[in-house]
Structure 1
Amino acid sequence: MSIKTNGLHHVTAIGGDPQRNADFYLRTLGLRLVKTTVNFDDPGTYHLYYGDESGKPGTLLTFFPWRDAPRGRRGTGQATTTSFSVPEHSLGWWRDRLVGAGVTTSRITNRDGEDALTFQDPDGLQLALVAHPQHDPRDPWDNGHVPAEHAIRGLHSVTLSVVTEDATAEMFRELGLTFTSQDANRLRFSAGDGGPGAMVDVLVTPDAPRGLVANGTVHHVAWRAPDEATQAEWRAELVDRGHSVTSILDRQYFRSIYFREPGGTLLEVATDQPGFSVDEPLLELGRALKLPPWLEPDREQIEHTLPKLNLPRENNPELA
């Protein structure tokens, strides 16, 4: 296979109230809202993208916040933990911050030389902050809420829960990932040179219940493709291998294909380009509701349907 992704592009989850979602990820975790748009398949629902200053691939956690969505259930056949990378020696600071915000956290634990702090967002989505012992060169978003020396650098890894590992492991090898380590029933695979933003853990839990994708769970995990031509080539290879893959879909800020790994988790391959400044300047990212051209004729109806979203001034400091 010629497929060799160099890491995670984004993780998309399902949330509840959009204002509560924005308050937590912008104010508590200190991320930037880099795009306020809608679910292209359900325009009556926001699609909110959180990441670094420009929303670079590998920093993004995105949400479909359905206010009336039923509560999901973590289990096999889905991504069960989304982890962010933070500087070494920052977890004590983060534990104090989260506890001060009313968030229950785990003890700081160590696995494979990495300290980690696990907690849940207001809708029950399981998150972790991981202090990777090596330097993460990605710049944090300078937001005024979280000091730069502690701030999130981007995605660290995702954890997928499966009943059996063989077929899932083979799928990740087809995507160009390499098996790098095992800790009991947890197998780690890395893309490219490895490190934060390029890892997936496969957790083998045969006795766990089947997951239910709804509020508080991950909808899909996206991997990076450098450009559309490469994506098309990868799609053809996946189809030749017998995988059921969607056509290439225009997501305005990237192009996407979707398919399921054998354990059940929905995967995506998304292009790095064109990026989030294609329809608004860098300094104004996330400030206004952006719609793709095919939804612009329905803007008035969409804006009337969506709940009002109040963003902190720090999301666009030069404009505040």
Structure 2
Amino acid sequence: MARSAGIHHITGIAGSPRRHVEFYTRVLGLRMVKRTVNFDDPSTWHLYYGNETGAPGTALTFFVWDHLPAGRPGVSQAVETAFAIPESSIGYWTARLVEKGVPHDAPEKRFGETLIGLRDPHGLRLELVGSRAVAAEPGWAGGDVPVEHAIRGFFGVTLWLENPAATAKVLTEVLGFVAKASEESRQRFAAEGPLGAIVDLRNVPAAFAGSLGPGTLHHVAFRAAGDADQAAMADAVRRLGLRPTDQIDRRYFRSVYFREPGGVLFEIATEDPGFTLDEPKASLGTALKLPPWYEERRAEIERALPPLE
């Protein structure tokens, strides 16, 4: 069977774009690697943050929907986004969050690893996990965080589910994840890649209902090496009685979407062609990039988008 190497990207919903950009670039030290629009709603920013190139396993992306009321995390959602940092950097990040005035939790242990919980300006739940596995992975050297302490990419994501067993079947039979361990209300599944390899399923009662809006996640995308692997995974989705979409061109990757049995929107995204498709690595994320079918509307779109700085 085709196996995913882990998370490709995670997409959330943001409110005020200025506070948002400041937090992810100046506080967390990520690189903005793409300024584009939601291809289904070109009046909306779609912003991508990641490592130097926004490689698969590093890209956290946001639809800027500042007209929506604040979202509420709950069952049938991806809720917690975990970034991987070097194991020795927990102390640095604790001090940095204090210095920047970012509310955060005291370091705690989960599955033997130390993590810090925090929230972004719109309430999105984030974690910084000290991980041995990412020691050799490059961080973004051009940001405000010293490269030796820089975020390397994703550690993983936590889904809140009433019935984790059905979702576990998707992870193992479609994406090739392996069940690793259980701790309290969490089951951990892992892929083979060093970044974005972890998915935790947390058993949450149905009464904990959520709503989409700023401060919540929209979907989780998993890596496919190419079109053939993506097609094989889509076939596996169908064998479970689920309905994947046809392949959709997202310019920087090609996507298939489906809703897993617990209600979370999943995407299977190809690793190619990447964010250097339409701008060089040195200037990634510095200008608005539009797909060809929107170029003739550039002036109209630029007028509608709220300023980022």
Shorter-normalised TM range: over 0.9
1:128 aligns with 2:127: yes
* Mapping of residues 86-101 of structure 1, within 5 Å: 86-101=85-100
Q: Which residue of 2 aligns with 1:81?
A: 80
CA contact (8 A) 2:84 2:151 kept: yes
SS, match of residue 273 in structure 1: coil
In structure 2, C-alpha distance between the alignment counterparts of 1:12 and 1:130, rounded to whole Å: 19
1:204 aligns with 2:218: no
CA contact (8 A) 2:84 2:134 kept: no
AA at the equivalent of 1:227:
G
Deviation per CA, 1:135-157, whole angstroms, max 9, x where unpaired? 43210001241011211000000
* Mapping of residues 208-227 of structure 1, within 5 Å: 208-227=207-226
TM-score when normalising by structure 2: 0.96
Q: Structure 1 stretches (4+) deviating beyond 6 angstroms?
A: none
CA contact (8 A) 1:132 1:196 kept: no
Deviation per CA, 1:115-165, whole angstroms, max 9, x where unpaired? 000000000000000001344321000124101121100000000010122
Q: Which residue of 1 aligns with 2:22?
A: 23
How many corresponding residue pairs?
Answer: 308
Q: Which residue of 1 aligns with 2:165?
A: 166
**1:63 shift after superposition:** 0.3
In structure 2, C-alpha distance between the alignment counterparts of 1:309 and 1:87, rounded to whole Å: 30
AA at the equivalent of 2:301:
I
Alpha carbons of 1:196 and 1:110: their partners in 2 closer, same or farther (altered >3 Å)?
farther
* Mapping of residues 301-320 of structure 1, within 5 Å: 301-310=300-309
* Structure 1 unpaired stretches of 5+: 311-320
In structure 2, C-alpha distance between the alignment counterparts of 1:234 and 1:165, rounded to whole Å: 20
RMSD (CA atoms):
1.3
Q: Which residue of 2 aligns with 1:275?
A: 274
Deviation per CA, 1:256-310, whole angstroms, max 9, x where unpaired? 0111111111100000000000101110100110000111111110011012223
1:179 aligns with 2:179: yes
In structure 2, C-alpha distance between the alignment counterparts of 1:134 and 1:63, rounded to whole Å: 27
Deviation per CA, 1:209-242, whole angstroms, max 9, x where unpaired? 1221211000000000011232123223322331
In structure 2, C-alpha distance between the alignment counterparts of 1:301 and 1:207, rounded to whole Å: 43
* Structure 2 unpaired stretches of 5+: none
* Mapping of residues 143-154 of structure 1, within 5 Å: 143-154=142-153
TM-score when normalising by structure 1: 0.93
Q: Which residue of 2 aligns with 1:313?
A: none
AA at the equivalent of 1:4:
R
Quick check: 182-191 or 205-214, which moved more? 205-214
SS, match of residue 63 in structure 2: strand
**1:246 shift after superposition:** 1.1
SS, match of residue 167 in structure 1: helix
In structure 2, C-alpha distance between the alignment counterparts of 1:184 and 1:161, rounded to whole Å: 14
In structure 1, C-alpha distance between the alignment counterparts of 2:118 and 2:158, rounded to whole Å: 14
**1:196 shift after superposition:** 3.9
Q: Which residue of 2 aligns with 1:107?
A: 106
Q: Which residue of 1 aligns with 2:297?
A: 298
